Amino acid sequence: MTFHEQIREGIPKVLPQPKPYDPAINHAPKRKEILNDEEKKLALQNALRYFEPQHHAELIPEFKQELETYGRIYMYRLRPDYRMYARPISEYPGNSEQAKAIMLMIQNNLDYAVAQHPHELITYGGNGAVFQNWAQYRLTMKYLSEMTDEQTLVMYSGHPMGLFPSHKDAPRVVVTNGMMIPNYSKPDDWEKFNALGVTQYGQMTAGSYMYIGPQGIVHGTTITVLNGFRKIKKSPKGNLFVTSGLGGMSGAQPKAGTIAGCITVCAEVNPKITRIRHEQGWIHEIIENIDALVTRVRKAQETKEVVSIAYLGNIVDVWERFDAENLHIDLGSDQTSLHNPWAGGYYPMGYSFEESNDLMANHPEKFREEVQKTLRRHAAAINKHTAKGTYFFDYGNAFLLEASRAGADVMNDHPTLGREFKFPSYVQDIMGPMCFDYGFGPFRWVCASGDPEDLKKTDAIACEVLEKIMETAPEEIRQQMADNIQWIKGAQENKLVVGSQARILYADAEGRMKIAEAFNQAIARGEIGYVILGRDHHDVSGTDSPYRETSNIYDGSRFTSDMAIHNVIGDSFRGATWVSIHNGGGVGWGEVMNGGFGMVLDGSADSDRRLKSMLFWDVNNGISRRSWARNEGAIFAIQRAMEVEPLLKVTLPYLVDETLL
């Protein structure tokens, strides 16, 4: 069968032969056994409803074995034979160019070079899934190949509910992931209901088809590291940044450290992902011996070398040994997937990677005990370094939250609202006040042609737009503008592309709209092919997360999620090609609500109208909320936005004299 025929086939009438388990692929860890016998039968019924009854007798034992062996039914047999990657948009079958663009983005999320566990349909974060199983993937691609611009595909946590009549200005796809009733949104609820096949964890950009590989966070991480050093009034040159995690999003850290110009040590326990990051050029060196690591870092400090080093081992060894050696750490953080601590997001000391996986699957309570013991040691070692002057920040991965639940010494001796922990979230002290409050966040685009030349042209267009804006930019945002111009000028030489021909930069509403408008005009002139716009949900408006994106909201509303819901509703009727709303992205199931979008630019007047309407709302919705929380930068930004757009009228806060209170 041709590629087009396989896409259009959906779930085959004749079952393909079972596929052998490929040990060369980085697989998801076995999930713990959480279903009782009755629930296991229900999980099988739920899986088999995708197949005609004549196949059930053959599939029941196979799916039962998958459930018992892996803790999930992935339907490996249905994994396609074709290579999984983002093809040029012209190579997809279909009646809608917008639908073809979405197929491109889905396949990019599952590209072996991009996805963390591609055979389990997991893109990053240990559990960030595009689909729950391969039947859902096949059926979704079939629907997308059939749909017109007068239909909308509705996605329920990976399950394609179906095509519904709509209209050309409606989203082509509406996605929800993990939208649980609040009382059923604890970590074990995810384990249970995901095993039943009725919900999934979409992370931020996995289940919304907008992941672009580690580049998606390299820029934000670069800005974080640069501003972290600015905060402690040090140059990155010759100074040390220590962190951990080389998986999906965390794999960007050493690359970002190199771009910022510091020494980076990033610990990782998984040998396979460590080698992948080295082969991709995201890290310079791998060191497995802690003595050798100490020697190497001292040399780098003495020569002020810019180098990224992966330590293949537990991060706690690094913190403890560097303390014993009195080796100074300037910036410290952690980006292991602690939103998922009991299912592969964080590994305990004293066990090999394989031993830990075995303990996780077969002795979950013991595994939990060892993880919490390690977290206590981890925090104790960090405290010793911060006493010597290290600036440590929580990198939005729920490190402080899980460490506190483990009884670690991370709580503030004199807590105030929003400052319960002794260490700040990076959003509180860096990204929130310096970027998000002013509307700067992760604007990204993908060249649908797949042509590297198109990416070069869009880089040049974006740079030209930003330099023009910079000429009249107010002083309050000139540093942000300068950082982004420097970033986009170095984007090509830093070899950031993994998978699709994609780019990211931080821009405010003005920057996003003007860059998108310039892209659309270039498409209309025939200079470049279609462009797919999007962003990380980790942005000004998309996400309500009390310990990350909205951690610098101090009016008590950081535990509400009105903003994320309004964001996706507003995007949907202002012209987004697809919209998504998720529970659980980034910091954990039940800890966050986040919304995202995708938008296809085709050079038309319709695209011009949609991009101006949607992008203005997508940013200023969040600035409005932040200004109402009395954030100084956001008040400045929203007043500036109202001057530009007379139809915008936002309720501003009156400030109360502290002496009266």
Shared domain check, 370 and 463: no
What mean pLDDT is predicted for residues 411-415?
92
Same domain for 405 and 506?
no
Kindly state whether residue 207 falls inside one of the protein's structural domains. Answer: no
Q: Is 268 annotated as a binding residue?
A: yes
Among candidate residues 401, 426, 451, the one where a domain is terminated: 426
469 and 347, same domain (yes or no): no
Q: Higher model confidence: residue 487 or residue 621?
A: 621
Is the model more confident about 506 or about 251?
A: 506
- Do 147 and 246 sit in the same domain of this protein? no
Please state the rounded mean pLDDT for residues 5-9: 97
- Tens of pLDDT, residue by residue over 383-394, are 999 999 999 999
Task: Decide if pLDDT at 265 tops 70.
Answer: yes
d(CA 156, CA 179) in angstroms, rounded, equals 9
Could you give the CA distance from residue 575 to residue 612 in angstroms, rounded to a whole number?
A: 9
Which whole number is the average pLDDT over 252-278?
93
Long-range contact pairs involving 416-420 (C-beta distance under 8 Å, separation at least 24): 417/554, 417/556, 418/551, 418/552, 418/553, 418/554, 418/558
In the block, residue with structure tokens 């919209």: 579
| Same domain, residue pair 417 and 438 | no
Same domain, 462 and 565: yes
Domain boundary at 426, 442, 473, which? 426
Residue 425 is classified by DSSP as B
Report pLDDT digits (tens) over 489-514: 888 887 888 899 999 999 999 999 99
pTM, 2 dp: 0.90
Classify residue 202: in a domain, yes or no. Answer: no
At residue 597, does pLDDT exceed 70?
yes
The whole domain housing 61 covers 3-196
The confidence score (pLDDT) of residue 248 equals 65
- For 22-60, the pLDDT digits (tens) are 999 999 989 989 999 999 999 999 999 999 999 999 999
The answer to whether 512 touches 542, Cβ cutoff 8 Å, is no
Instruction: Tell me whether residue 622 is annotated as binding.
Output: no
Mean pLDDT of the chain: 95
Q: What is the pLDDT of residues 465-482, one digit of tens each?
A: 999 999 999 999 999 999
Examine the domain organization and report whether 510 and 441 are in the same domain: yes
For residues 12-25, give the mean pLDDT: 94
Q: Are 350 and 392 contained in the same domain?
A: yes
Q: Which residues of 524-534 are buried (b: 16+ CB within 10 A; e: fewer)?
A: beeebbbbbbb
Are 595 and 453 found together in one domain? yes
521 domain-assigned: yes
Same-domain status, 399 and 503: no
Total count of domains within the chain: 3
Residue 205 lies in a domain: no
Domain boundary pick from 166, 196, 226:
196
Return the CATH number at 293.
3.40.50.10730
Residue 384: what pLDDT? 98
Under 8 Å CB-to-CB from 65, ≥6 apart: which residues? none
Contact indicator for 315, 399 with CB cutoff of 8 Å: no
- The reply to whether 208 falls in a domain is no
Asked if residue 206 is part of any domain, the answer here is: no
* Same domain for 239 and 127: no
Residue 573 inside a domain? The answer is yes
Q: Which CATH number does the domain housing residue 553 bear?
A: 3.40.1770.10
645 is in an annotated binding site: no
Instruction: Determine the number of helices (DSSP H) and then strands (DSSP E) in the chain.
Output: 22, 19
Question: Each residue of 69-118: pLDDT tens digit?
Answer: 999 999 999 999 999 999 999 999 999 999 999 999 999 999 998 999 99
Section 361-373 average pLDDT: 95
What's the rounded mean pLDDT across residues 541-558? 93
- For 282-302, what is the mean pLDDT? 97
125 is in an annotated binding site: yes
Indicate if 262 and 390 belong to the same structural domain: yes
In a domain, 565, yes or no: yes
Q: What percent of the chain has pLDDT over 70?
A: 100
Q: What is the percent of the chain with per-residue pLDDT over 90, rounded to a whole number?
A: 86
203 marked as binding residue: yes
Given a cut of 90, whether residue 588 has pLDDT beyond it is: no
Euclidean distance between CA atoms 257 and 407, whole angstroms: 31
Contacts 24+ apart (CB under 8 A), 562-569: 562/625, 563/621, 563/622, 563/625, 564/593, 564/594, 564/595, 565/593, 565/595, 566/621, 567/541, 567/542, 567/595, 567/618, 567/621, 567/622, 568/542, 568/595, 568/596, 568/597
pLDDT of residue 529: 98
Name the residue with higher pLDDT: 119 or 496.
119
Does residue 197 have a known ligand-binding role?
A: no
